[in-house]
Amino acid sequence: MQHTMTWGGETQPDLERQETTGAERRGTFATIQTAARNTFDLVRKSSIFDVYEKAKVRGAKWRREKWTQVLFEYAFYAVLIAFIYFVLIGVPLWNGAVWWLWWVVANKFVIAGGFSITVGLAAL
């Protein structure tokens, strides 16, 4: 084995190609092929299953209690009803958005096809 100088001044062995017999090459290739097959089988069998198992554990960790789910649901309904009443209707307290839409269409948009304007605004 010869030593050669590299650019940094260090000496490193010159790697010469060693002659190998056909039996050694077949053994090497068979080993690599077996390792690759085992790796592919391991990945195919375990990766999706592992992800699913981790997701189940994490989902159970972050799952809310039943009473908090029910409380959140009814709180959402209450906010939705309050929005509909105070913003859209609001009649005893003030005129809501629906009343103002009717007023604008009745008084300001007095043109032919006023009903189409109402339908267009309702669609928006």
pLDDT in tens, 102-113: 888 778 766 667
Indicate the length of the chain as a whole number.
124
| pTM for this prediction | 0.42
Q: How far apart are the first and last CA of the chain?
A: 84
Q: Is the pLDDT of residue 83 over 80?
A: yes
- Tokens (6 digits) for 115: 């009903």
Q: In DSSP terms, which residues pair with 11 in a beta bridge?
A: 5
Angle at 79 between CA 62 and CA 70, to 5 degrees: 40
For residue 48, the number of C-alpha atoms closer than 13 Å in the C-beta half-sphere is: 4
